[in-house]
Amino acid sequence: MRAEVKEYNYDWMMGSITEAAAKLPAGSQKEADLSFRYIPYFRYALGALLETGPPGVQFLKMLSHYYKNITTAHDQGKKIVATTFCSTPLIFYAMGLVPLTFEVLTAVGAMVWKRGMFDYMDYGCEVGMPETSCSAQRGSLGAYLAGLGETIDFIVCDSPGVCDTNATAFAFAAEYLDKPFFQLNYPSTIGDERSQAYHVEDFKAMIGFLEKQTGKKFSYDRLESYLKEMEAQDAITADLEDMLLLVPTPIPPIYTLMIYAGRFCFAGHPEYTRMLEKLRNEAQKRMKAGVPGLKAGVERLRVLMCYIDHYTVDMNFYNYLEERGIANTGSILTRNFRDNNPYCQSLEGSCYGVDTSSPEAMLETVAQMNARLPMVRSIRGPYDQHGMWLDECLALARLYNADCIIYNGTSGCRNTWGMVKPFARDIEKQGIPVHIMYDDAFDDRVESWEASKERLDEFFTVRGLL
């Protein structure tokens, strides 16, 4: 790793950047203009968030708070649990812990730095992680492996059964950093009684692990209050999903990122509820005025991202969508599979409800919810199993009137690269054009953004979409 990168603590650096960004709207225009001059590679991203108005400001505050929680956790006597974005933070909050999600931290760094997370990713390889492992974890994890982040107290992952490379990163980190480790394991089926019973047992074991690590008893009362807050969040999300159905949609491309990033960081927290409320207010205003979410004011195309979005420098992917007039109808990260969403009608048996009537019911709920988070729902088991990834994508593409489906992931993603070709062919057979991006969502060195952009343009042109 370059010496100058080693000079700074990663959490502190990102925390400072997001804190400064969140304060920007409180200053004068002159101050803001000056600040933008200092961030040439983060200017669009910040500008785009601020342009969304109150939701963007709230989003920045939330991110800043997320970092502050991490950097002050130990001073507050709290423990830090490293986890993955496909595991809900809600249960950790209920336990009084500070969750630290590698993928979120990688995405933030990748979007605000011209140099991306390359130094940290490469450091991961220097100490033994395969260079072919998923960049989503390897980015920020590299900083922790190098001792450039807050000290992690223990590790919980829920990717065994759905993603080897993700689970391996966490297991590797646990050994390398010598931290206690717990895994939630996912069978290939979902929604059936047998797998649900397995999930519940797994969660009981996880609670036991958390109690052992913290020396505290798990509080179902706290869990209940988080779940109730989440109820309110899910209701707003469902409203936003409804508005995403409209053609043109009043939802700008960047909203989907804000919806899921907020959920990964603060599910069950009032500040996430506040951001969602602001998103809904803004979207409703546009809907009533008949104004599309896209800045250009015209919706030329609607895409469904069947996997994840692209997160490299300056949010250039969202910028691209805006430039071309393309509405983003969401990705696997957007959907939460709560039963109040419009897509649940087309995907019978795939969604879940919330029940806070007893500790057992709450545990069932959390187990069901977690089993439907990104990856652990969509890409477990065979993709063409009833209700799984293929059915899900076809149902969503039809419901949201997507003109095409785009696959974008990471080159570390064995799981999806193992079947994306037949998957794409199956979708094409249903008359929906599919484009497979051969890039890496977090690492522009795999394919430069310029090349990815040209290939997207080529796809839209050749298929007569734009």
Least distance from C-beta 414 to ligand SF4, angstroms? Answer: 7
The amino acid sitting at 340 is: N
Indicate whether 412 belongs to the interface with ligand SF4 (CB under 6 A): yes
- Please identify which residue in the block is written with the tokens 């602001």: 278
Contact stretch for ligand SF4 (CB under 6 A) within 158-166, 215-223, 243-251, 282-290? 158-166
**Do 335 and 343 form a contact (C-beta atoms < 8 A)?**
yes
The backbone region for 256, taken as left when phi is positive above 0, alpha when psi lies in -120 to 50, beta otherwise, is: alpha
- Selection from other proteins, ligand SF4, none that 24 binds (CB < 5 to 8 A by kind) is none
Indicate whether 329 belongs to the interface with ligand SF4 (CB under 6 A): no
When the beta carbons of 227 and 265 are compared against ligand SF4, the nearer one is 265
- Selection from ligand SF4, other proteins, none that 136 binds (CB < 5 to 8 A by kind) is ligand SF4
When the beta carbons of 245 and 446 are compared against other proteins, the nearer one is 446
Indicate whether 198 belongs to the interface with other proteins (CB under 8 A): yes
Contact stretch for other proteins (CB under 8 A) within 16-24, 126-134, 214-222, 350-358? 126-134
- Selection from other proteins, ligand SF4, none that 387 binds (CB < 5 to 8 A by kind) is none
Q: Which of 60, 134, 333, 424: binder of ligand SF4 (CB under 6 A)?
A: 134
- Selection from ligand SF4, other proteins, none that 181 binds (CB < 5 to 8 A by kind) is other proteins
Contact stretch for other proteins (CB under 8 A) within 195-203, 280-288, 300-308, 344-352? 195-203
CA distance 413 to 31: 43
Indicate whether 157 belongs to the interface with ligand SF4 (CB under 6 A): no
What the block records as the tokens of 237 is: 């999300």
Query: Bridge partners of 328?
Result: 303
- Selection from other proteins, ligand SF4, none that 32 binds (CB < 5 to 8 A by kind) is none
When the beta carbons of 185 and 346 are compared against other proteins, the nearer one is 185
Indicate whether 183 belongs to the interface with other proteins (CB under 8 A): yes
Least distance from C-beta 377 to other proteins, angstroms? Answer: 16
When the beta carbons of 51 and 192 are compared against other proteins, the nearer one is 192
Indicate whether 415 belongs to the interface with ligand SF4 (CB under 6 A): yes
Site for other proteins in 371-400 (CB under 8 A): 382-384
Indicate whether 411 belongs to the interface with ligand SF4 (CB under 6 A): no
**Do 406 and 438 form a contact (C-beta atoms < 8 A)?**
no
Indicate whether 63 belongs to the interface with ligand SF4 (CB under 6 A): no
- Selection from ligand SF4, other proteins, none that 176 binds (CB < 5 to 8 A by kind) is other proteins
Indicate whether 202 belongs to the interface with other proteins (CB under 8 A): yes
Residues present in the chain in total = 466
117 contact partners, CB below 8 Å, separation of at least 6: 106, 109, 110, 135, 139, 140, 142, 442, 443
When the beta carbons of 263 and 302 are compared against ligand SF4, the nearer one is 263
- Selection from ligand SF4, other proteins, none that 129 binds (CB < 5 to 8 A by kind) is other proteins
Q: Which of 413, 432, 434, 436: binder of ligand SF4 (CB under 6 A)?
A: 413
CA distance 427 to 384: 11
Indicate whether 430 belongs to the interface with other proteins (CB under 8 A): no
Q: Site residues (CB under 6 A) for ligand SF4?
A: 134, 136, 163, 165-166, 375, 379, 409-410, 412-413, 415-416
Q: Site residues (CB under 8 A) for other proteins?
A: 127-130, 132-133, 157, 160-161, 163-165, 167-172, 174-176, 181-183, 185, 187-189, 194, 197-198, 201-202, 205, 382-384, 411-423, 425, 438
